[in-house]
Structure 1
Amino acid sequence: MNLKSTRSLIAMSTASLLLFSSCGKQESAEETVIVEEEKSTFLSPPLISHIYTADPSAHVFDGKIYIYPSHDVESVVEEDDSGAHFNMRDYHVFSMETIDSEPVDHGVALDVDDVPWAKRQMWAPDAAQKDGKYYLYFPAKDYDDIFHLGVAVSDSPTGPFTAQPEPMKGSYSIDPAVFQDGNDYFIYWGGIWGGQLQKWRTGEYLSTGDSPYDDEPADDEPAISPMVAKLSGDMLEFGEEPRQIKILDQDGSPILAGDHERRFFEAAWVHKHNDKYYFSYSTGDTHNIAYGIGDSPYGPFTYQGVILKPVQGWTNHHSIVQVDEKWYIFYHDTEISGETHLRNLKMTELTHNADGSINTIEPILK
């Protein structure tokens, strides 16, 4: 695929100026006004430019960095508020020998046609390693257009992966993320609006309307919670009843649904630093990557602030990984294409302060 080059936007307008001579004649003249939009300066360059990639989940397996992103494609589906134009159909896996290496594309690791239950929209994935096997977790819509989570297995971190014939039992919504804590593996998931999490508030899929905003709580009610469950020993199913994650204000009260600057929207991720658990996520329509800190992988997590300020483009989705002695955040924006649904991966260093807080990162310098 040939990517579009980044272009300045030039607005041109033509104005007819009416000039009157002393004898009363009317003359016209054409004036062309050219206004060039100021270009943004980005903190980080794109990591991958030969295909569009987004939602990067980065891990270190056996001393090597692997990135599991979604694969953006040109779509004929009309854009809407449910994200129908994000019509991805397969996954590529990328590897890096070191944090400064150019990512290597290992080709298609899993295609929607190889997933018996999945119809479309292979959105943000994640991966895990256990006992020499590699597990790719992914969301997709079934033939009723309801999102579920699937899992595929491989003997190699780069695939190809073989999908299970059915989605994970009891799974729904989007954005799976797996966190290993000792011998235990936890899976986090959920996304509101197009991610359908709000439609599962009763425990069953229930929609009161066609809008992705339907079924949300009132602004003064607690925000919809992301979900977590420990994985089963074979890594293929939930090993326990899923539970809600509570994201709390500093006073211990829940973040409210109307607090769009801080409430959970999608893109859950967990990492551990100095025996504390960090739950980070996207705030969606306010475009922050925010975070809370807790004492357990189940939470609750107390809101701390913003890790990554808004990027160019509507969405953001990230992962945080330690490589050697440093921490890095992988994320995406639209620098290459300028199109909301055609994104590119980026990466920059992340800093934990002595008090446990994380320095806020500005991805756009001007």
Structure 2
Amino acid sequence: MAIINRALPIFAAAIITGCANNKSPVNMQDSAKSSTEKKREPISQPLVSHIYTADPSAHVFNGCIYVYPSHDTATGTPENDNGDHFNMMDYHILSMDSIGGKVTDHGIALHIKDIPWAGRQLWAPDAAFANNTYYLYFPVKDKKDVFHIGVATSNKPEGPFVAEKEPVKGSYSIDPCVFKDDDGSYYMYFGGIWGGQLQRWNDNKYDSAAGLRKGDELAVLPRVAKLSKDMKHLDGNVKEIKIVDKNGNLFKEKDNDKRFFEASWLHKYKGKYYFSYSTGDTHFICYATGDSPYGPFTYQGVILKPVEGWTNHHSIIEFKGKWYLFYHDVQLSGKTHLRNVKVTELKYNDDGSIQTIDAYK
């Protein structure tokens, strides 16, 4: 997270209705501002414009696409490097039955006031389906201002969800991504430095005084843990995920155009595991590949070039024979903390590499 708004606002519009259980949308007041400079044209438009959304985790459930985003709101919280101005209060789930088609906002799926252990800041969530139940995983600071990951359940993909009374034991930091492997095992990937507090966790122990790594130190690594069959606990210890260069070397903090910052996502393509993530302060979505859900993953390149706005967060799904990248920028507001979710097609080369996407023409 950060303090700088590097985006210039431009106008946008979106279509809203959707996949199932439609609710009447509320048209947002036009909050876009005129740009004083000529802007490049975006390749995609916001999925919705009546609320601000970010950090989209997309999944295919029951033949529809469900998107689990953050819900940005203007709370007036001052901006800082810890991202306190990203002060989300609830989650809205979106659905659609086709890319480019109508989108449904299903209303509030979970509010922070209904999470017994929560203090503040509901950040980027994810979801999974198992045991005939839908699970919503979410990071939120506890009452001591430490991030942990919680879980809530529902019998419908759009919710509403009911949160467990305690966070997932052994979890910490932010940005959960839950991946189902071919054998039916589920894994949770998580972590984010700076405001996400990952730098404070070493050997799965919390040190409130731990600072950010220096340039010549090894970069902080993302985390992974297998989930238990009830999807509410970790099955074993949290492990670090090694992201290495082509020579097998770990990245240093100064390699901030390649090292991990936040926004883990895992998908599988032609038997290969693809771990993608945001580099944060350099604004790339990068990816690395490996032969195990635990890694190591070898860096391969950039999926998405920097977007307008400070943050970058994504997800990748296959739907009806094509692959898609969900992401966000700040087209509607021009403000770092008021973002909008988008989608565009993702393409592979014959060798399995991913073609780099520029979000603007």
Unaligned runs of 5+ in 2: 1-26
Contact 1:148 1:173 in 2 (8 A): yes
- The letter of the residue matching 2:237 is E
Q: How does 1:292-311 map to 2 (within 5 A)?
A: 292-311=288-307
Give per-residue Cα distances to partners, 1:77-102, cap 9 Å, x unaligned. 11111000000010011111122322
Q: Structure 2 CA distance, aligned partners of 1:147 and 1:318?
A: 20
Partner of 2:337: 341
Partner of 1:14: none
Partner of 1:24: none
Partner of 2:287: 291
Contact 1:3 1:49 in 2 (8 A): no
- The letter of the residue matching 2:142 is D
Classify the secondary structure of the residue corresponding to 2:310. coil
Q: How does 1:220-239 map to 2 (within 5 A)?
A: 220-239=216-235
Contact 2:44 2:359 in 1 (8 A): yes
Contact 1:3 1:51 in 2 (8 A): no
Contact 2:204 2:238 in 1 (8 A): no
Q: Percent identity?
A: 58
Classify the secondary structure of the residue corresponding to 1:119. strand
Give per-residue Cα distances to partners, 1:9-38, cap 9 Å, x unaligned. 4xxxxxxxxxxxxxxxxxxxxxxxxxx411
**How large is the RMSD of aligned CA atoms in angstroms?**
1.1
Aligned residues: 334
Partner of 1:96: 96
The normalised TM-score by structure 1 is 0.89
CA positional deviation for 1:3: 4.3
- The letter of the residue matching 2:117 is W
1:154 aligned onto 2:154: yes
Higher mean C-alpha displacement, 221-230 vs 191-200: 221-230
Q: How does 1:273-288 map to 2 (within 5 A)?
A: 273-288=269-284
Partner of 2:189: 188
Contact 1:250 1:302 in 2 (8 A): yes
Contact 2:303 2:355 in 1 (8 A): yes
Unaligned runs of 5+ in 1: 10-35, 209-213
Contact 1:3 1:337 in 2 (8 A): no
Partner of 1:259: 255
Q: Structure 2 CA distance, aligned partners of 1:224 and 1:178?
A: 20
Classify the secondary structure of the residue corresponding to 2:281. helix
The normalised TM-score by structure 2 is 0.91
- The letter of the residue matching 1:184 is S
Greater RCO (CA < 8 Å, at least 6 residues apart): 2
- The letter of the residue matching 2:98 is T
- The letter of the residue matching 1:110 is L
1:7 aligned onto 2:33: yes
Q: 2:240 pairs with 241, 244, 249, which one?
A: 244
CA positional deviation for 1:202: 4.8
Task: Report runs of 4+ in structure 1 exceeding 6 Å deviation.
Answer: none
- The letter of the residue matching 1:272 is K
Q: How does 1:1-366 map to 2 (within 5 A)?
A: 2-9=28-35, 36-182=36-182, 183-208=184-209, 215-365=211-361
